[in-house]
Amino acid sequence: MRYTESTFMTPLQKQIYARLKTVPAGRVTTYKELARAVGSTAYRAIGQCMRNNPYPYMSCDIPSLRVPCHRVVASNGTIGGFMGKTAGAEIEQKISMLKSEGVGVVDNRIQKFKTALYIFSDL
Partner DNA sequence: TTGATGACCTGAG
Partner DNA sequence: ACTCAGGCCATCA
- Among 18, 26, 76, 88, the residue binding DNA under the rule CB under 7 A is 76
Residue 49 annotated in active site: no
- Report the sign of the C-alpha dihedral through residues 35, 70, 110, 98, in that order: negative
Least Å distance between CB 75 and DNA? 3
Regarding 84 and contact with DNA (CB under 7 A), the answer is yes
- Among 75, 101, 118, 120, the residue binding DNA under the rule CB under 7 A is 75
The distance in angstroms from the start CA to the end CA of the chain is 37
Amino acid in position 116:
A
Regarding 2 and contact with DNA (CB under 7 A), the answer is yes
What is the C-alpha separation between 96 and 81, in angstroms, rounded?
14
